[in-house]
Amino acid sequence: MNILILGSGGREHTFAYKIAQSSKCERLFVAPGNAGTAGIAINVAIGVTDFEAIKKLILDEQITMVVVGPEDPLVQGVYDFFQNDRELSEIAVIGPSKRGALLEGSKERAKEFMAMHSIPTAAYESFKAESLEAGKAFLEKLNAPYVLKADGLAAGKGVVILNDIEEAKAELTDMLTNKKFGAASETVVIEEFLDGIELSIFVLTDGKNYITLPTAKDYKRIGEGDKGLNTGGMGAISPVPFADDAFMEKIENRIIKPTVDGLKAEDIDYKGFIFIGLIKVGDEPKVIEYNVRMGDPETEVVLPRIKNDLVEVFEKVAAQKLDEVTLDLDSRSATTVMLVSGGYPEAYEKGKVITGTEEVEDALVFHAGTTLKDGEVVTAGGRVMAVTSLDTDFRAALKNSYKNIEKIKFDKMNYRTDIGFDL
C-alpha cells in the first residue's frame, strides 16, 4: 500500500524509518518531511493543515493510509475532514477526531475530562482576561511554585512555572491581557504544583481496545540539570527505570483504562495515540497533561524498541482489531540526545551546513529541523537532529550516543551532556 506521513520533525522521520521497513509499504510519502525523510521516502511540499492539497495528493498517488505526526492538523480536524469526504472516507487515518484532539487542544477540556472520569491530576482553575483579578486571588491561595498554562496550543512553550507570587501575577496579566501566547492564552489554567519525577506513557487505541507502548522520559529544559527555558525536548530515555510493575499497574488501572473508557463513554472517535504526561508523586501517578499524538523526542526512543511491523499494527487500529496485536519489544534500553541550533529556544540562525552524519556507527540519526539546499544538508529549525542508541542499559546507550555526536558538526551546535542525570 501507499502511505502518507504528515509532519516534518524527528518524530516523523522515526515513523518513516519504521514504516519503510514494512513489506506492506510500497511507496512512502512525507508532507512536508525533512532531509532525513528524503532518503527513505518521497517528500512533498505540502503544509500539514492544507487539507485540500493533502486530498489531491492522496487521490493522485492512491494513498490508503495516513499517519498524522503533529497536533495541529488533528486539532483542526483532519480526521473529520476525511470521514466527511466521500472520496476519502475509506482511507485509514491514524489520529483522533477533532473532539478527541481537544484533550490536547484545550488544557481546560483535558482537566474537565479528568475530573469527569476520576483520573488523578493537580487541582486547578481556569481564567480569562475578564477574570484576571480572580486569577490573582486564586494564586494567593496556592503555595509556590505557581504553574500557569496557556489553554491552547503553544508549540510546547505555553507552560510557565514561577516561584515568586508577584512574578506569577505579572505573568498571568501578560498571558491574559497582552496575549503573550496569542489565542492560546485567551484562557489560562492555573494549577497546583506537583513535586515528583516525570515520565511519558504512550497508548495506542482503536477506540475500543488499546496497547501500552514502552515508557519514556524526556528532558525539556535547555540547560544542564534541567535548568533554563523549556524546549520541545532535549533528549529521552526508554524504558523509565523507576516505572516498575507495581507502579505500571497503578497507571493502567487509575489512568490508562479510565481514559480509554472515558473516550468510549463520551462516544468520541479515537483511533490513534494518547500521550499521557505523568508525574510520580511519592508512589502515586498523577496526570500532568494529555497529548493526542506521539511525543518528540520520545518517539525516537520508543519506536526503535518496537519490533512489530508498524503498518500491520496500524491496520489493526483502523479495523478496530487492536486486541489481536501483541507487542514484541527489544529488551535493550534506548536513549536519544537532541542536537539544537545555537540560541534555541530563543532566536537562532538557520541554514548551517551539517557534516559527519555518515560517520555515525551503531546509532540512528533522526532528522528534525533539517532541509536539503544545493545538495547539502542544512539546519532549518531549533531542534536539528536526534542521535539514538540501544544498549543493555541506558548509561551504555547514552555513552554511544555521545561518542557519535562528536562526529557531527554544524555551526553553534548545542546539546545537553547530562540526559538521564536524575535516574
Report pLDDT digits (tens) over 267-307.
999 999 999 999 999 899 999 999 999 999 999 999 999 99
At 8, is the pLDDT very low, low, confident or very high (cuts 50, 70, 90)?
very high
Mean pLDDT value of segment 194-211: 94
pLDDT at residue 42 tops 90 = yes
CB 308 within 8 A of CB 193: no
- Indicate the length of the chain as a whole number: 423
Higher pLDDT, 407 or 172: 407
Mean pLDDT value of segment 36-50: 97
pLDDT of residue 157: 65
Per-chain mean pLDDT for the chain: 94
Architecture of domain 2-97: 3-Layer(aba) Sandwich (3.40)
Other CB atoms closer than 10 Å to residue 357's CB: what's the count?
18
Q: List, by residue range, all CATH 3.40.50.20 domains of the chain.
A: 2-97
Q: List, by residue range, all CATH 3.30.1490.20 domains of the chain.
A: 123-191
At 185, is the pLDDT very low, low, confident or very high (cuts 50, 70, 90)?
confident
Mean pLDDT value of segment 155-165: 80
Q: In Å, what is the CA distance from 323 to each residue of 72, 220, 238, 303, 313?
A: 29, 34, 24, 19, 10
CB 384 within 8 A of CB 350: no
101 vs 87: CA distance, rounded Å? 23
DSSP code for 196: S
Closest to 152 measured CA to CA, from 90, 103, 208, 223 = 103
pLDDT at residue 158 tops 90 = no
Fold of 123-191: Dna Ligase; domain 1 (3.30.1490)
Lookup: cell for 120: 488523578
- Ranking 36-50, 132-146, 150-164 by mean pLDDT, the lowest is 150-164
pLDDT of residue 160: 85
pLDDT at residue 357 tops 70 = yes
Mean pLDDT value of segment 326-354: 97
**φ and ψ at 416, to 5 degrees?**
-90, 140
pLDDT at residue 350 tops 90 = yes
At 162, is the pLDDT very low, low, confident or very high (cuts 50, 70, 90)?
confident
At 180, is the pLDDT very low, low, confident or very high (cuts 50, 70, 90)?
confident
Mean pLDDT value of segment 153-162: 76
pLDDT at residue 116 tops 80 = yes
pLDDT of residue 156: 61
Closest to 185 measured CA to CA, from 157, 151, 159 = 151
388 vs 402: CA distance, rounded Å? 10
pLDDT of residue 155: 66
pLDDT of residue 320: 97
Q: Is the dihedral of CA 342, 298, 291, 293 positive or negative?
A: positive
19 vs 245: CA distance, rounded Å? 30
Q: Which residues contact 170 (CB under 8 A, 6 or more apart)?
A: none
End-to-end CA distance of the chain: 42
pLDDT of residue 216: 96
